[in-house]
Structure 1
């Protein structure tokens, strides 16, 4: 069997889970069924942990089981929507931690790993690139961490469907549920997309003394080499 076959199966499974999530989310809000909310939350949790689950990593399976049991307990109490509210918070907090931990000690910043994987060691050695990579890793860490806090506030304070309201507790500040849900499930990820586009433009200006590949070529390299970003090494071709 080709070594690429498991990788393709993993990609197909990830794509299936990704496409299934918005369908389950829409169905949950349209039908107002708690079990659909629980299923949507478990789908997204599975997508986030899929790499570790696929490779049989104990920590990933423990996290998945804990999240699954917690979601089922909330479902039994008729509060499965709470899990759905907290999933975007966990995504952003987890991503912030993923960026931030590469800034500790002698580790290579995550953006520097990406440059190694997508463009090679020669690119990282060019003037200003390594410093920019560290600064950008800090920027992503702060953006995602702040967004996790804002999303947590939206999940807790939304009225009438936020966590405090569902638990029968008063909220010190009311956030309209429509706006809170929009930010949690769409707006927050739009912020990430807009930041990515703005950073791409800023990078070309800030590092204008260096040659830059065409966007199509650059993003093709991302598709081929994104897995290498998870490791402290290069994989560019």
Structure 2
């Protein structure tokens, strides 16, 4: 498992939930200790020279174990592994790293992708008696094209009432450093997303990226809406 920075630092229960679900399905999960950042934030902000050793460390850590697949509870981090690492290594003239990064890319999946596409599972035996609306994150939606996989997983959860989120495909406004460098625009986008969530009557808003979860959760909390947030993995890990 590629834990991701935000999960490791702020949302450890998300990582534990991924392990819970996969072990429930009979799979062994290994979390390499040497992993750190995937390098996405360095690359996205133009610090490509600084990103190279970060990527080199991540590739080495995630390939030291002879795993059948690598999974991450984050579409944005998986997007970096698939669409940035090889190009970064090739541009730096490090063909050996590029080849390793390509091999890693070929077996790296966002959580819902692994469950539905690789393991062929939609019902993971979860129970979550709440009304839930789902925000599809930008990277999972547009870069990885996971489609309706998260929704299919939620629809199979016993006791869960899934309600459609108006304007679901609109960005929540986080966007990594975008939220810091363009705070007024980010805040306006968040306000629209929070308002949309409130119209659903849901008591839980779910996403599959902890960054969006943090952003939307903060907006809901500051307005004292009473609406909670849960990562998709946390819902799927819940049982009676």
- Give the TM-score, by structure 1 length: 0.33
Please identify the structure whose Cα radius of gyration is greater: 1
- The structure whose residues are more often strand, as a share, is 2
